[in-house]
Homo-oligomer: A and B are copies of this chain.
Amino acid sequence: METIQYNLPQDRIPEAWYNIQADLPKPLAPPLHPGTLQPIGPDDLAPLFPMALIMQEVSQERDIEIPDPVRQVYAQWRPSPLFRARRLEKALDTPAKIYYKYEGVSPAGSHKPNTAVAQAYYNKMEGTKRLSTETGAGQWGSSLAMACAFFGLECKVYMVRVSYDQKPYRRALMEAFGASVTASPSIETESGRSILAQFPGTNGSLGIAISEAVEVAAKDPNTKYALGSVLNHVLLHQTVIGLETIEQMALAGDEPDVIVGCTGGGSNFAGLVFPYLGQKIKGQSHARVVAVEPAACPSLTKGHFAYDFGDTSHLTPLVKMHTLGSTFIPPGIHAGGLRYHGMAPLVSHVLDLGLVEATTVQQLDAFAAGIQFARAEGIIPAPEANHAVAGAIREALVAKEEGREKTILFNLCGHGHFDMQSYINYQAGLLENYEYPAEEIAMALAGLPAVG
C-alpha cells in the first residue's frame, strides 16, 4: 500500500510558534497612528487587544511558547494531516509529486481556529468577558465562536449583510456555538447607523463590519476585538501549519521544490510558508514560494507597497502593505475570504524582499481546479483554497510539459461544505471571470495617504 497520509502524534504539536520577525534581513516598517502619523505604541492598542497579543505583535523573539491550554485545544485536530495527492497526480498524468497540508480537519473547517483559540485564551487570561469581531464568508466568525465557547467567553459577530442573507448555514454554525450574530451594517452601533442613514439597503462590507466590531470593543471595557488575519500575531499563530509540515515532509522523505498558498489577508499562506522562509533565509531551503491571489483582487501583483488603512472607514492604524487602496471594493467573487484590499504587512514585506513570488488565478479556473481536486481526492475545497489548488495544478502541468520530477506542496486551508452555493452556480455556468478592475483600483490608489 502506498502511503498517502503523513501523520504526527499529538505530542508533536509544536511547543512554540515561529516568529519570522526574528530572522528578517530588514525589519518591518512600524504601524502609524491614524491621527498623528507617528509610530504607535502598545498603549494605543490596549483598548482593543490583550497585552499578550500586543507584545506578540512587536516581538522579535524567534520562538514564542504556545501555552499548554492552547495546545490542549489544538489536540482536537492537530497535528493536521499532510496528504500525498496520488490520485490527483494520476489524473494530471504528471511526473510531479503533490503534497497538501489539510487544515479543513478543524471542527470549524479551516485554519482559522489556530489563531481563534489563542486569541480567546489570552483574552480569557486577561479578564475579557466578550469578544467582538467581523466576518465575511464566515470561516473566521465560526472559528472565533467555537473558541469562545471553549473558553467561556461571549462572542459578538458582525456579519456582512450579503453573507448574512446568503449564508444562513454559516450563521447557524456560529449560533450553535452560542455566538450572537448581527447583520452589518446594524442599528447597534454609531458606525452602522451612520452607514444605514447614508445607504439604506446596502449589502455591507468587511470594512464596515470592522468599524462596528471595533466600535463596540472601544466603548466597552469588558469587550475586546479580535481579527482573523493580516496582523503579525495572527500570522504567528498560524505557523503551527508550516512547523508540522516540515516534520511531515521529513517523514515522507521529501522536500518541496515549490510551496503554494492562496492569499487574501495572508494568514494561511504565512502559516505554511514562514517556517520554510526561515530555512530559506538561512540557506537551508531552496523552495520557490508562490502566493496565489484572485485576478479580481490582486493586491500582491498589482497593488502598491505603501502605508494604508486596514479598513474602509479609516479607524485603524496605517500599516505598510501591498494595497489596492482602502476604498477599493473588490468584485463579488465567491472566494469571500480573498476579497481584501490589502495584504498582511509581513507577507507584503517578504514579497518586497524577494523571498516569495505572486501570481493570479481567475475565478473559473479556480472552480475548475476545485472540481478536479474533489473528484480525485474526495475533499471539496473552500473557494479560497481553490486558488491554491489551481496554483499547484499549474505547477504540476509545467512539470509535465518539462518532463521533470518536482515536489509541490500546498496548503488546503479549508473545506467548502458551507460554500456549496458557489459550486451550484459554477456548475450551472452562472459564474464569470473578472477582468482586472484597473480604473477602480487606480482611483483607490490615487487616494492613498501621503505617508512614508
- A residues near B (Cβ < 8 Å) are 1-5, 7, 9-11, 13, 68, 71-72, 75-76, 83, 87, 105-109, 113, 146, 149-150, 168-169, 172-173, 175-178, 370-371, 374-380, 417-418, 420-421, 423-424, 427
Q: Which of B5, B146, B424 contacts A10 (CB 8 A)?
A: B5
A76 to B, closest residue via Cβ: B378
What copy number does this chain have within its complex?
A: 2
Q: Which of B87, B107, B169, B371 contacts A377 (CB 8 A)?
A: B107
Interchain CA distance A10-B3 in the complex, whole Å:
7
- Asked whether, in the complex, the Cβ of B175 is within 8 Å of the Cβ of A427, the reply is yes
Q: How far does the Cβ of A140 sit from chain B's closest Cβ, in whole Å? A: 15
Q: Which of B2, B10, B107 contacts A72 (CB 8 A)?
A: B2
Q: Which of B5, B172, B178 contacts A76 (CB 8 A)?
A: B5
Interface of A is mostly: helix
A149 to B, closest residue via Cβ: B375
* Chain B residues within an 8 Å CB radius of A375: 149, 176-178
Question: When A378-B76, A378-B108 are in contact, do A172 and B87 touch as well, CB less than 8 Å?
Answer: no
Q: Which of B1, B173, B178, B371 contacts A380 (CB 8 A)?
A: B173
Question: Can you list the 6 inter-chain pairs with the closest CB atoms, starting with the nearest?
Answer: A107-B378, A169-B420, A417-B417, A172-B420, A149-B375, A172-B424
Interchain CA distance A162-B176 in the complex, whole Å:
25
* Chain B residues within an 8 Å CB radius of A377: 76, 107
* Chain B residues within an 8 Å CB radius of A421: 168-169, 172
* Chain B residues within an 8 Å CB radius of A11: 1
Q: Which of B9, B168, B378 contacts A150 (CB 8 A)?
A: B378
- Asked whether, in the complex, the Cβ of A424 is within 8 Å of the Cβ of B168, the reply is yes
- Asked whether, in the complex, the Cβ of A1 is within 8 Å of the Cβ of B10, the reply is yes
A148 to B, closest residue via Cβ: B375
A422 to B, closest residue via Cβ: B172
* Chain B residues within an 8 Å CB radius of A9: 7
Q: How far does the Cβ of A111 sit from chain B's closest Cβ, in whole Å? A: 14
Q: Which of B1, B172, B427 contacts A68 (CB 8 A)?
A: B1
- Asked whether, in the complex, the Cβ of B10 is within 8 Å of the Cβ of A168, the reply is no
Q: Which of B5, B106, B370, B424 contacts A75 (CB 8 A)?
A: B5
* Chain B residues within an 8 Å CB radius of A424: 168-169, 172, 175
* Chain B residues within an 8 Å CB radius of A75: 1, 3-5
* Chain B residues within an 8 Å CB radius of A13: 1
- Asked whether, in the complex, the Cβ of B10 is within 8 Å of the Cβ of A374, the reply is no
Q: How far does the Cβ of A9 sit from chain B's closest Cβ, in whole Å? A: 7
- Asked whether, in the complex, the Cβ of A423 is within 8 Å of the Cβ of B176, the reply is yes
Q: Using A3-B10, A176-B374, A418-B420 as known contacts, list a sample of 17 further A-B pairs with CB atoms less than 8 Å apart, ordered by residue number in A.
A: A1-B68, A3-B75, A5-B10, A107-B379, A109-B417, A146-B378, A168-B420, A169-B417, A169-B420, A169-B421, A172-B423, A172-B424, A173-B423, A175-B424, A176-B371, A176-B420, A176-B427
